[in-house]
Structure 1
Amino acid sequence: MNVHAQIASRTERVLAGRVAIVTGSTSGIGLGIARKLAEAGADVVLNGLGGRDEIERLCGKLAGACGTRVAYNGANLMVPAETRGLVEKTIADFGSADILVNNAGIQHVSPVESFPEEKWDAILALNLSAAFHAIKAAFGPMKAAGWGRIVNVASAHGLVASPFKSAYVAAKHGVVGLTKTVALEGAEHGVTCNAICPGYVWTPLVENQIEDTAKARGITREAVIRDVLLAAQPNKRFAEVDELGALAVFLCSAAGQGITGTALPVDGGWTAH
């Protein structure tokens, strides 16, 4: 290997030797972040929904492509004890949990006066409380090690609101507040905590939403994209999961060690309004 290739290799593997937990990572944004962390050299523990065979194939494919260890933990993040167990088992199996990415989340859209109480409870439990329980379990060991990176996937809705999304907006605003508090507590211990706040991101879930909305409104696919989903995004394009993954890698690398307590929009200018 020549000198330039060696430098490139070291640059690309900036997280070699680190262990990362990414929740909600069997598809979509979480999988994109997990893949980028693995490409950067981190061992990765996935968590999310899916059939056993599908998940085994995913872990094998990711490990083979990136040359890192990839495991799966099926903890139900709606249960605090299982969330803690996800972190504890990762430390037991891998020796540490250096990076924690809280990405798992759900959504429901309804006017406040008819918002189902069980949906409110579920959204707060998964989008906000699960992040707290995971952070609580990981924070002590990170502080003891003198190094840790926590990345919370919030949303543009952690910075601004939209109608009919009371639970989601409340939870994501809570995630941003939690991020700031944890950042302050970890600042002198080598532990950073930041939030990524995406606008609309191109995922299979969004693709299905486009088709459903087009049928429901009797408009074209292009009209749904531009005039409904991306109406608030000045750049009129979806973010890609790899963009969010690249940002997560940067925040977890040595280059991002001075960045903590921030809420970083990846929203095409949405929150600049």
Structure 2
Amino acid sequence: MFLKGKTALVTGSTSGIGLAYAKALAAEGAAVMINGFGEADAIETERAALAAASGAAALYDAADMSKPEQIAAMVARCAAELGGPDIVIANAGVQFVSPIEDFPIEKWDQIIAINLSSAFHLTRAAIPGMKAKKWGRLIFTASAHSLVASPFKSAYVSAKHGIAGFTKTAALELATFGITANCISPGYVWTPLVEKQIPDTMKARGMTREQVMNDVLLAGQPTKQFVTVEQVAAMALHLCRDESAQITGSNMSIDGGWTAG
């Protein structure tokens, strides 16, 4: 358990990739604060399981990632009740699929706020504590869409490109403080976020569900397989190791070869 004594804060972690991050970190002994939306009973079940796995505390915070003041309060609560955070994973994300000319302005603003701006607010609040300890790991869930684009996802692609740039800036600013900043860019991972965008893509492209899955979602992944949440979480764990202290400012692709071409 190489993370015993460390505290991790993971946003968007009540399901999907975020929950996989939390489980992987807890399995290595980290105290964990999870965040996100969902049924209270289901969240409590996951929280209790994380505490049992880590042998350390696990807390849930319902901060809304579109509200900067709630993000700052969540980091302050993490510091007060768990210590840290030593590891911050900005993972919260939403998606909307539409042609640019029809893209609702409120949806653009929401995606930029949750997928990009929340990472800034989270990092800004966490940096002072990390600097004081001279150790920290900042990990951002980007996407293959931080490197390439797809039609009908203008806000999401813009936000994820922004995450890649923010990662580099944070890495340069924090390079002498024992703090690394990296982003992980998965291809298509089978999560609720991906499943929910299938009907919109069917409508936008005039395709069947099977066509969307084979000809859109997996079209760009040469392996023709979805990435698993466990594979993404394993990369995050690797970045938390002391042996990874010189990996900073990197964009780690886990996309079945999608961005290789």
Both proteins in one fold, TM over 0.5:
yes
Q: How far, CA to CA, are the matches of 2:107 and 2:84 in structure 1?
A: 34
Within 5 A, what are the aligned runs for 1:105-254?
Answer: 105-207=93-195, 219=208, 221=210, 223-254=211-242
Deviation (angstroms), 1:68: 2.7
Deviations along 1:17-45, one digit per CA (max 9) or x if unpaired, are 10000000000010011110111111100
Deviations along 1:219-243, one digit per CA (max 9) or x if unpaired, are 474x543222100111100111011
- Summarize the Cα distance change of 1:197–1:91 in structure 2 as closer, same or farther, 3 Å threshold: same
Q: Which has the larger radius of gyration?
A: 1
TM-score by length of 2: 0.94
Q: How far, CA to CA, are the matches of 1:68 and 1:268 in structure 2?
A: 35
Q: How far, CA to CA, are the matches of 2:21 and 2:179 in structure 1?
A: 19
Which residue identity lines up with residue 17 of structure 2 in the other structure?
I
In the alignment, what sits opposite 2:85? Answer: 97
Within 5 A, what are the aligned runs for 1:43-54?
Answer: 43-54=31-42
Sequence identity percentage = 53
Structure 1 unaligned regions, length at least 5 = 1-12
In the alignment, what sits opposite 1:65? Answer: 53
Deviations along 1:114-160, one digit per CA (max 9) or x if unpaired, are 11110111001001111000000001111121000000001110111
Deviation (angstroms), 1:93: 0.6
In the alignment, what sits opposite 1:265? Answer: 253
- Summarize the Cα distance change of 1:141–1:157 in structure 2 as closer, same or farther, 3 Å threshold: same
SS at match of 1:188: coil
In the alignment, what sits opposite 2:16? Answer: 28
Which residue identity lines up with residue 120 of structure 1 in the other structure?
W
Q: Is the 2:138–2:181 Cα contact (8 Å) retained in structure 1?
A: yes
Deviation (angstroms), 1:209: 5.2
Which residue identity lines up with residue 236 of structure 1 in the other structure?
K
Which residue identity lines up with residue 187 of structure 1 in the other structure?
A
Moved more, 75-84 or 49-58: 49-58
